[in-house]
Chains A and B, each alone.
Chain A
Amino acid sequence: MLALLATSPSGLEKLWFALIGVLWLGYFFLEGFDFGVGVLMPFVSHDDVDRRVVVNTIGPVWDGNEVWLITAGGATFAAFPLWYATVFSGFYLALFVLLAALIFRGMAFELRHRRDDDRWRRWWDRALFWGSALPALLWGVAFADFVHGVPIVAGGEWTGTFFDLVKPYALLGGLATLSLFTLHGATYLGLKADGPVRERAREVARWLAPTTTVVVTAFLGWTYLSAHAWHHTGLVPPLLPILGVGALAAVGWLVHDRLEGWAFIATAFVVVAFFTTLLLNLYPNVLVSSVRSSYDITVAASASHPYTLTVMSWVALVFTPFVLLYQGWTYWVFKKRVSRPESVETRSSEV
């Protein structure tokens, strides 16, 4: 039955695979530095004012950045119901941990400054750190699993356990995204913070860049080799990962030469190249079966009917430009660097 349906994807289906890819890229590009900033907060701050400088660099934008995830999730549900259903039920416990982390992180932004109480702030700082570090790790694990295969049989039925999701390749993928997002956060802080936080972020970026280069290169190398060995259909254009690794190797120099804008553009490019490589490698599947390749879930087999895809294409075509415009505009409005105030005024929002 499913084999019959597994024809090659139509143009509309290809378009939606690409659009969902774009949503994920947008999410990782934007929320990637949010995660990095959250992970770095304890390491680039010496006191609470520093910590507040760090949080305020992403304060106006983190929530809008997270909506890229909500939209990617909703679009996957609508365009590829079987993909959404199989991944979300199969990655059950991992997603539970991810959701718990995102809950505490989101609350930390809004609540940490609401009480002038050191213990209260310390708890929310922990929430912000773990709420950023865990998703940064787990997204890499999940995307590595999509590509490398999970234990599913016909119709997306799951036959494995939680431990099938944390194989060495996937763990390396998680480590790669954790260090990449942290580096991305460091270059963001270099661009958005001022004063001691900016300097410390620069120091972190200088030693983190080579480490990240090694981990990411190892992971992309493994991806490239295994893709050719196991999935002959999954053509990997090696140009993109090579350019990505090249940009990553340059980050250390750019930071050293205080070319902060270029350093941020470089890490952003690496994030995009990294996930584009994985998505291209995944295509024409959306989820690979580690049991047998005939159980792979393909773009064509999991896609919604053309009517739904057409409706959503029109909605996306009309409204996406507005979203990009006003979201871009907020970055322009808050383009000023965040720095330690000369005197820390009493906070109006405080009890």
Chain B
Amino acid sequence: MSALLGSISTLSLARWQFGITTVFHFLFVPLTIGLGLLVAILQTASFRTGDESWERATRFFGKLFLVNFAIGVVTGIVQEFQFGMDWSRYSVFVGNIFGAPLAIEGLLAFFMESTFLGVWIFGRGRVSPRVHLLAIWLASFGTILSAAFILAANAWMQHPVGYAIDPATHQAVMNNFWAVMTNSTFVLEYGHVLFAALLTGSTFLLGVSAWHLRQGHDTAAFAKAARVAIVVVLVSAVGTIFLGDSQAKQMETQQPMKMAAAEALYNTTSGASFSLLTIGDLAGNPIFQVRVPHILSVLATNTWSGRVEGIHQLQAQATKKYGAGSYVPVIWVLYWTFRIMVGLGVLLLALGAVGLWLMRKRRLERSTWFLRFATWMILAPFLANSVGWIFTEIGRQPWVVYGLLKTSNAVSLIAPGYVATSLIGFTAIYTLLAVVEIGLMVRLAKVPSEPIAADDRAPELIY
């Protein structure tokens, strides 16, 4: 075992483990945030109108929300623990700053979401309908709040603010909490992620409803759900794209290397064009490329002929500032994840726009091709969320905290065998969970909604 592992470093194993566990965790989190809010909206409609079709939709999607929520919770504990397990030198360096939002997240957000979700699951008929409705709103608010703290922590890694380096311990210490929580990087990132989560939840709501409309199941409930979903898909797609665009301009000033690598732009260019796709190598000798003039400059600087800095120039600057070494992330990963993310965002915008048009024309329920398309589009936001994170985290490399700490200096000083064991273990467990979870979600999503019983109390035994 150890001989075999001799050539594999703790660093690369730890990076793979973090990547795999984080991408897996974040498959479920946006659906929790987005669908939680949408279920709260459905239940509010039911509460306000007393219309049972709203209530059927609430319970149907509530069930899917809960199955999804559980996996987000259990994979979330791994996230908090592995900072210390695999990245202990990082943890010592950033604990003063990074730890505070994590602790506050637990106290303010996780208690709220888990406690009130318990009330929501078990409370129907035991608390008043008003309190039951309040419970889902508070649980949803908890999920939205939790994203704020973890993203403030991540934004600090992308763009450190409100800190000083302690000369004695070489730790980063916080000197302005307000600055950390109002970091310009955080504000845009939080908005982008929240809209993306809402986009994930609403696309899911739309896609599942569309499937049932095609089957002719409970059209009263699923048509209502689909209408809500279409409006939210459209609004959140616009929000996601708009904030993503603002992030690109911010990236050009805060992390120009990430922007340059995203376009594989080797030399500083004014009025830079944007390549939609490339066949062949990205190092300047493509076999085939589709380019749109000036668009990269617009994307990065908001001006037609703005100057976008190139990889070679940025590498030279970084060497001068930080010392010898490569400061270029893996270009092909950035190039393609960026395009997949943006492409899927535009596709989802189209989904919302076409859906709204069909809705206005009163042809939504009969438009078989659209309903089929909407169901397949369920996959799009999950893929977009994953590549988005891969883009932004790989794009920060070789830094774990931009400009302050390199990833290679952040990893724990432990034998690779430990990390290999847990990497194999977590991958196996997560694969098993994925099979079970996706199987169950598909199964539950296909069962028609249930009628509301006359005695409308939660059963004695829920679990």
Q: Mark B99-132, 1 if CB is under 8 A from A, else 0.
A: 1101111111011101111110111001100000
CB-based contact B107/A78 at 8 Å: no
Q: How far is the CA of A242 from the CA of B75 in the complex (A)?
A: 40
Q: Are B104 and A312 touching (Cβ within 8 A)?
A: yes
B450 part of interface (Cβ distance < 8 Å): yes
Assembly CA distance A124 to B282 (angstroms): 49
Contacting pair A88 B173 (CB below 8 A)? no
Closest chain B CB from A3 CB (angstroms): 13
**Complex contact B173–A304 (CB within 8 A):** yes
Q: Which of A29-87 contact B (CB under 8 A)?
A: 49, 52-53, 55-56, 59-61, 63-64, 66-67, 69-71, 73-82, 84-87
In contact, A67 and B118 (Cβ under 8 angstroms):
no
Whether B119 pairs with A330 at a CB distance below 8 angstroms is yes
Q: Knowing A70-B110, A89-B84, A89-B412 touch, does A315 contact B104 (C-beta < 8 A)?
A: yes
| Nearest residue, chain B, Cβ from A52 | B461
When distances are taken between beta carbons in the complex, the residues of chain A under 8 Å from B111 are 64, 67, 71, 323, 326-327
Complex contact A326–B115 (CB within 8 A): yes
Contact of B118 among A53, A319, A330 (CB under 8 A): A330
CA A66 to CA B85, docked complex, whole Å? 20
CB of B451, distance to nearest CB on chain A (Å)? 10
> Does B242 touch A at the CB level, under 8 Å?
no
User: B94 to chain A: which residues have CB within 8 Å?
Assistant: 81
Q: Which B residues between 58 and 93 are near A, CB-CB below 8 angstroms?
A: 59, 63, 66-67, 69-71, 73-78, 80-81, 83-86, 88-89, 91-93
Nearest CB of chain A from residue B107's CB, rounded to whole Å? 5
**Pairwise interchain contact A304-B103, C-beta atoms closer than 8 A:** no
- CB <8 Å contact, B127 and A64: no
The 0/1 profile, CB within 8 Å of B marked 1, for residues 321-351 of chain A is: 0010011001001100011010011011101
| B121 lies within 8 A of A92 (CB) | no
Residues of A within 8 A of B89 (CB): 85
Question: Once the chains bind, are A89 and B123 in contact (CB under 8 Å)?
Answer: no
| Nearest chain B CB to A328 CB, angstrom units | 10
- Identify B107's interface contact among A76, A80, A316, CB under 8 A: A316
Contact in complex: B66, A110 (CB < 8 Å): yes
> Which B residues touch A53, using CB under 8 A?
461
A86 to B83, CA, bound (A): 11
A5 on interface, CB distance cutoff 8 Å: yes
B413 and A157 form a contact (CB under 8 A) = yes
CB 8 Å contact bits of A144-157 with B (1 = contact, 0 = none): 00000000000011
- The answer to whether B84 touches A107 (Cβ under 8 A) is no
Contact B421 A106 (CB under 8 A): no
> B92, A74: Cβ atoms under 8 Å?
no
Knowing A71-B110, A320-B107, say if A60 contacts B83 (CB, 8 Å): no
Question: Is A63 in contact with B117, judged by CB distance below 8 angstroms?
Answer: yes
Given the complex of chains A and B, what is the CA–CA distance between A351 and B80 in angstroms? 34
Bound-state CA distance A99–B98 (Å) is 22
A106 B96 Cβ-Cβ under 8 A:
no
Q: How far is the CB of B90 from chain A (nearest CB, A)?
A: 8
| A95 sits at the interface (CB 8 A) | yes
CA distance A81 to B94 in the complex (A): 8
Choose one: A74, A307, A339; the contact of B175 (CB below 8 Å): A307
Verify if A14 is at the interface (C-beta below 8 Å from B).
no
In this complex, how many residues of chain A approach chain B with their Cβ under 8 Å: the count is 79
Does A222 lie at the interface of the complex (its beta carbon under 8 Å from any beta carbon of B)? Answer: no
Q: Does B292 contact A (CB under 8 A)?
A: no
Q: B81, B118, B126: which contacts A95 (Cβ < 8 A)?
A: B81
B418 contacts A by Cβ under 8 Å:
yes
What is the 8 Å Cβ interface bit string for chain A, positions 84-108, against chain B (1 contact, 0 not)?
1111110011011001101110110
B441 to chain A, nearest CB (A): 10
Would A110 and B70 count as touching, CB distance under 8 A? yes
Is residue B1 contacting chain A, with contact meaning CB distance below 8 A? Answer: no
CB pair A81 B122 closer than 8 Å: no
Q: Which of A5, A76, A99, A113 has the most CB of B within 10 A?
A: A99
Chain B residue with minimal CB distance to A102? B77
Say yes or no: is B51 at the interface (Cβ < 8 Å to chain A): no
Closest chain-B Cβ to A108's Cβ sits at a distance in Å of 9
A96 touches B422 (CB 8 A): yes
Q: Is the CB of B86 within 8 A of A64?
A: no
| Bound Cα distance from A223 to B188, whole angstroms | 52
Q: In the complex, are the beta carbons of B436 and A73 less than 8 A apart? A: no
Contacts of A156 in B (CB 8 A): 88, 92
- In whole angstroms, how far apart are the Cα atoms of A88 and B114 in the complex? 25
Report Cα–Cα, A169/B96, bound state, in Å: 33
The answer to whether A92 and B422 touch across the interface, beta carbons within 8 angstroms, is yes
Collect the chain B residues with CB atoms within 8 Å of residue A111's CB. Answer: 67, 70, 436, 440
Q: Is B3's CB within 8 Å of the partner chain A?
A: no
Could you tell me if B98 and A77 are in contact, using CB atoms closer than 8 angstroms?
Answer: yes
Interface residue? B171 (CB, 8 A): yes
A88 to B108, CA, bound (A): 24
The listed residue (A99, A326, A339) touching B81 by CB distance below 8 A is A99
* Cα A106 to Cα B332 with chains together (Å): 38
CA separation between A305 and B71, bound complex, in Å? 35
A59 to B462, Cβ gap below 8 A?
Answer: yes
Q: With A96-B425, A351-B443 as given contacts, are A308 and B92 in contact (CB-CB < 8 Å)?
A: no
Q: Tell me, yes or no, whether B4 is within 8 Å of chain A by CB.
A: no
Q: Which of chain A's residues have a CB closer than 8 A to the CB of B459?
A: 341, 345, 347-348
Determine if B148 is an interface residue (Cβ-Cβ < 8 Å): no
Check if B8 is an interface residue, CB within 8 A of chain A.
no
List of A residues within 8 angstroms of B191 by Cβ: none
A197 to chain B, nearest CB (A): 12
**Contact of B73 with A106 in the complex, beta carbons under 8 Å:** yes
Bound complex: CA A69 to CA B77 (Å): 9
As a 0/1 sequence over residues 428 to 450 of chain B, the CB contacts with chain A under 8 angstroms (1 = contact) are 01000100100010011001001
Contact of A239 with B by CB under 8 A: no
Verify A61–B440 contact, CB threshold 8 A: no
Q: Is the CB of B463 within 8 A of A112?
A: yes
B446 CB, min distance to chain A CBs, angstroms: 9
Known contacts A49-B461, A107-B433; A323 and B102 CB within 8 A of each other: no
Decide: A70 near B77, CB < 8 A? Known: A78-B96, A110-B66: yes
- Inter-chain pairs besides A77-B98, A115-B440, 5 sampled, C-beta below 8 Å: A61-B118, A71-B106, A74-B99, A95-B85, A308-B173
Could you jot down 29 A-B contacts, CB within 8 Å? A52-B463, A60-B123, A63-B73, A66-B77, A69-B77, A73-B106, A74-B106, A77-B83, A77-B98, A78-B100, A79-B103, A81-B95, A81-B96, A85-B92, A93-B418, A102-B77, A109-B463, A110-B67, A111-B436, A305-B173, A305-B174, A308-B174, A315-B104, A316-B107, A323-B107, A326-B112, A330-B115, A338-B461, A351-B447
Residues of A within 8 A of B (CB): 1, 5, 49, 52-53, 55-56, 59-61, 63-64, 66-67, 69-71, 73-82, 84-89, 92-93, 95-96, 99-100, 102-104, 106-107, 109-115, 156-158, 304-305, 307-308, 311-312, 315-316, 319-320, 323, 326-327, 330, 333-334, 338-339, 341, 344-345, 347-349, 351
List the 7 closest pairs (A to B, CB-CB), nearest first: A81-B95, A88-B84, A78-B99, A71-B106, A77-B99, A110-B70, A74-B103
